[in-house]
Amino acid sequence: MTLVSDTHGAHGAVYRDRGGRRVVDHYRKPERVGKAVRNVVGAIEMGYGVLAITGEDRVEFIDNAVSNRIPEADGQGVYALLLDPQGGIETDMYVYNADERLLVFLPPERTEAVAEDWASKVFIQDVTIDDISDELGVFGVHGPKSTEKVASVLGGPGAPEKPLSFVRGSMVDAGVTVIASDAPLGEEGYEVVCAAEDAEEVLDTLLNRGLNAAPFGYRTWDALSLEAGTPLFEYELEGTVPNVLGLRNALDFEKGCYVGQEVVSRVENQGRPSRRLIGLDLDGLADATADIDGDADPEGYDEILPSPGAAVFDGDEAVGEVTRAAVGPAAGDPIALAFARFDADLVDPTVRVDGEEVAATRSDLPFPSVDGSAQSARLPTYPSDE
């Protein structure tokens, strides 16, 4: 459930469910807002689940469970994965060392299951796991002017610089923690964390005090992250071996054993996975999407763009499937992410939409139309590309 429904309602919010949590889908002008985020700055209420891990053994316990090394110093964070025995991603997460506790931000639909799984594995260790999702508000601030935005309203220290590091300060009368993001939208960005009772005031500060920010929802988030080449849990990550996604920033190949590590290491040693994540310009749909006013009817694109799972062909051969598609805010053209066979040439690819083959062109990631202020840390990187 959103913590700031009055503020969202004042901006004309349309809602959707995200993993059992009510979040803003859009504010009726997602195309215009997407351009505002690309050019200036925007703010979004994030739909995370949050776990607090306490006890003397907290760092060692979580480090043994996930794919990346947990920082031991206060004020530092890391992006990590929880894998199954076959190497498939059960969830992704951000883990922050917040002095006497670790804070784990993860998709809301995975929060309860992860908390129960970890609690069942605590034996003699001094570890306690609590779901504190309802106690915190989390807001994203993204765009080339996001540093200026945060500086204009943050009391205390300056904005953090190192990705996934954080500082503590205040906004008006509310205590906040400001985290430097790893640029999932291909722009500079931050996440602002506050107590739930301060959420309304903090969002009002982010939108209206200092440098104004445009409110945006998850429809815009999905499109901007697609342009940036950032895979997301609900579309690309769940059940996928991380090598297929090129998520090298989430993997520490030198740390001790964790579930799924043998599969990840074996695929890594092969030099490349069987599939990879690619970008596609949906040239054959450009005229159809151009006829739709995405601000007046954002759902109109849903009837034209390929759905997740739509087949990708290389000539007459099926070589992959679309994970998601959108009209990119930067250029206003239809684009998609897809899994494709690693060795597919994709010289003249097509995508099947409503039983017809639609012309496409393979694109680099991030999409060339994006001239962002930062590069996503999740941008797919494969050993053979280095």
Q: Is the peptide bond before 366 cis (omega within 30 degrees of 0)?
A: yes
Token pair 């929060």 is at which residue? 111
- Nearest to residue 190, comparing CAs of 358, 42, 338? 42
Residue of 348, 355, 320 lying closest to 336 (CA atoms)? 320
Q: How, if at all, do strands 317-327 and 334-341 pair? A: antiparallel
CA atoms within 13 A on the CB side of 306: 32
8 A C-beta contact, residue 169 and residue 156:
yes
> What span, in angstroms and rounded, lies between the C-alpha atoms of 138 and 106?
12
Sheet of strand 49-54: strand arrangement: 76-83, 89-98, 101-106, 49-54, 128-131
User: Which residue in 181, 180, 167, 174 sits closest to 205, CA to CA?
Assistant: 174
| Beta-sheet strands, E only, within 120-219 | 128-131, 136-142, 166-171, 174-180, 189-195, 214-215
Tell me the C-alpha distance between 282 and 116, whole Å: 42
Q: Which residue has the tokens 């920010």?
A: 213
Q: Does 60 count as an annotated binding residue?
A: no
Report the alpha-carbon distance of residue 352 to residue 365 in Å, rounded.
22
Label the pairing between strands 42-45 and 21-26: unpaired
3-state secondary structure 354-377: CCEEEECEEECCCCCCCCCCCCCC
Detail the residues annotated as belonging to a binding site: 191
Detail the residues annotated as belonging to a binding site for substrate: 191
